[in-house]
Structure 1
């Protein structure tokens, strides 16, 4: 995972590691699951890779413990350790009645809802949970609030799969359909660079070389 060359500002987006209950395949959005032992190892690999780079001025996290714990490990690897700031808008989507299920289980147990999920795009609301549009708007508002005009040259944010996609869309102007198709592996890393016109460009996409045999995708 090579550090980016000098630029006006860089945002490093890291997905948290594997969690208790298999976040690689199960829908754990609002459910506050902890990192598994494997997930901790994955984030330790991220922290070690980032420790070799120039220091970050800030580390961002969501309110959920899998994000906060991973962010704390990343921050601890820096010298001096930067503060970890929790951004409420960066909580993962609430999947409602689908929490804890795989998409295969959703299709089997709720075929009608699964069909609407595939057909309605941002217009879909998870049964008993959050609408996809409300989630997208919430995360993008948070991204613009804390990241659109970076106050420091380098920031790392340790977040969730869906949140990372929404942040990238907010900062780069990427359409929703394109952003939701982006790969975001467990403990995978994106790097965005800030441009003079205020937009961001993706410089590194879903790097996982630092994980070695711990790369599960996800």
Structure 2
């Protein structure tokens, strides 16, 4: 039995500014780093056989904080990155709402109809997340594996585990910074979500998005 621990990166500067950051990056805030360290403390008794991390700096820095003091190294791969947001990258929610309101509504209300300008469609993104999950399952049949990624990536992965269509993507627990999900996967591939959106370790709740 494989147990997959899935964590979002810590809070970033762009999270505070409510800027979209898909493939682009901004630094962790002091709170984001502290929450990542707190998650590491929460998971200190879990013996990880491997760790996989998005190549985005905010995810890498979070993984280092979570795994600090451990000898385990981690694999960085673009396949674990957030959905690519194209022309929206770095723009605030209000800026996008002003200049691209119809597509912003589609992004959240009808994701299966969302058509990005230079980014990934949710159909393409779903295929990538499926490939990412397959990559891990091909290498690990048992033990504990850590995955540090991003909010929409995690939502999509859990949506796949739940066997739901893309239109159901947002109908899940909000993925706060460093929120933890835990999924148990048998050798036959059947999966059970043991934990979702767990943020009990976090120093305080924040009202930022993205």
**TM-score scaled by length of structure 1:** 0.84
- 1:49 equivalent to 2:42? Answer yes
| 1:72 match: secondary structure | helix
| 1:10 match: secondary structure | strand
CA offsets, 1:115-156, max 9 Å, x none? 444565224222232222112211211111223662441011
- 1:29 equivalent to 2:22? Answer yes
- Residue 202 (structure 1) shift: 0.7
Question: Larger deviation: 56-65 or 31-40?
Answer: 31-40
Q: Return the alpha-carbon distance in structure 1 between the equivalents of residues 17 and 154 of structure 2.
A: 15
- Residue 180 (structure 1) shift: 2.9
Q: Which runs of 5+ in 1 are unaligned?
A: 1-7
Q: Which runs of 5+ in 2 are unaligned?
A: none
Q: Return the alpha-carbon distance in structure 2 between the equivalents of residues 104 and 122 of structure 1.
A: 22
Alpha carbons of structure 1 residues 117 and 15: separation in structure 2 relative to 1, 3 Å? closer
Alpha carbons of structure 1 residues 118 and 102: separation in structure 2 relative to 1, 3 Å? same
Contact 1:50 1:77 in 2 (8 A): no
Q: Return the alpha-carbon distance in structure 2 between the equivalents of residues 41 and 179 of structure 1.
A: 29
Alignment length (residue pairs) = 207
Residue 113 of structure 1 is matched in structure 2 by 103
Alpha carbons of structure 1 residues 131 and 157: separation in structure 2 relative to 1, 3 Å? same
- 1:179 equivalent to 2:169? Answer yes
- 1:164 equivalent to 2:154? Answer yes
- 1:68 is matched with which residue: 51, 60, 72? 60
Contact 1:48 1:77 in 2 (8 A): no
- 2:191 is matched with which residue: 187, 200, 203? 200
- 1:136 equivalent to 2:126? Answer yes
Contact 2:179 2:198 in 1 (8 A): yes
Contact 2:34 2:203 in 1 (8 A): no
- Residue 23 (structure 1) shift: 5.7
CA offsets, 1:82-101, max 9 Å, x none? 11111221111121121123
**TM-score scaled by length of structure 2:** 0.87
Alpha carbons of structure 1 residues 210 and 180: separation in structure 2 relative to 1, 3 Å? same
